[in-house]
Amino acid sequence: MNIYEKHGWAMVPSRNGFGEALRELAERHPELVVIGADLTDSTRASYFSENFPERFFNAGIAEQNAAGMAAGMSLAGKIAVFSTYGVFAAGRAYDQIRTTICYSNANVKIGGAHGGISVGPDGATHQALEEIATMRVLPRMTLFTPADAEETRKATIAAVEEIKGPVYIRFGRAPVPSITDRDTSFEVGRARLVRDGDDLTIIACGSMVAESILAAEILESENIFARVIDLHTVKPIDRETIEKCARETGAILTAEEHQIAGGMGSAVAEVVVATHPVPMDFVGVNDRFGESGEPAELLKAFGLDYRSIAEKAKNLIKRKTV
């Protein structure tokens, strides 16, 4: 039995939540259309296409065209969802997202699958490690980085029903611990307190939320009490919670399955330096591409597992000034 099973966490790919939400939303919104790029099963957009084939369009391996189609359909009154792997959605179609979708404030929702190195054996070409940085700088873009399948489901529903404009939802391929359920709160732009503590704050997103919970348990065994925050919405960012954590705990460690440069940690640092500067450190991919391997092996090799987070937290504590 692994450590996740010991906590009673079911292991479910977060992409499943995206598919479940699309199927659920389709019943309530006849104007919802979904566009795929030849990876429908992998992104779980198949949950929609199999039940509503007349409202599904496969653009093939032509991501720029898919983004343009989504923009055009939205400007004609549809709610358009475009999904593929994050490296292709945010990478190949960046110009179309920037100029055709965001500049037009088109009501397009982008499902960016296979985020992070935990994609596994597919390797560096398919491991999206830059899309938080590129998507969060775009005006009018909302960016979600949910922690598990259920939070991905809620983020997708919120993207369609609460936000009129561009949204990017980042989710993964590999099974991750289910740390939320139907009753767990989810509010756009409001970070979620997962675990309280006074010695430092760990702000995490995506799969790193579960790893941060485990890291906090290690720290507690050494009488270090870490607050854990689930920053599922990177943009608009929850400035109030971040400032509150800085003031109350005196140190902030961020954890993300993404490049450190320009990622969620950078977004948090922008808030900290402008509101209440405290010592900070960052857990993430440090200026390198991914590699092929099993998800758990890659998290450990890249210093993203819970033990690595705990070690960085202990080092950060030494730098506290308050």
Annotated domain spans of the chain: 3-177, 192-317
Among candidate residues 27, 50, 54, 63, the one labeled active-site is 63
Reported as a single tens digit per residue, the pLDDT across 66-78 is 999 999 999 999 9
pTM for the whole structure: 0.96
How large a percentage of the chain has pLDDT more than 70? 99
The answer for 241, left when phi > 0, alpha when psi is -120 to 50, beta otherwise, is alpha
Reported as a single tens digit per residue, the pLDDT across 16-47 is 999 999 999 999 999 999 999 989 999 999 99
What is the average per-residue pLDDT within 238-267?
98
Question: What is 3-177's CATH topology?
Answer: Rossmann fold (3.40.50)
- Specify whether 63 is catalytic: yes
Predicted local confidence at residue 286, as pLDDT: 96
Predicted local confidence at residue 322, as pLDDT: 52
What is the average per-residue pLDDT within 106-114?
97
What is the average per-residue pLDDT within 210-230?
98
Predicted local confidence at residue 85, as pLDDT: 96
- Candidates 165, 184, 162, 155; CA nearest to 20 is 155
Q: Is the pLDDT of residue 15 over 70?
A: yes
What is the average per-residue pLDDT within 79-107?
97
Kind and range of the H or E run holding 218: helix 208-221
Instruction: Please determine whether the domains at 3-177 and 192-317 fall in the same fold group of CATH.
Output: yes
Q: What is the average pLDDT value for the chain, to the nearest integer?
A: 96
Q: Could you tell me which residues come within 8 angstroms of residue 1 by beta carbon, excluding any fewer than 6 positions away? A: none
Predicted local confidence at residue 321, as pLDDT: 62
Q: Does domain 192-317 have CATH number 3.40.50.920?
A: yes
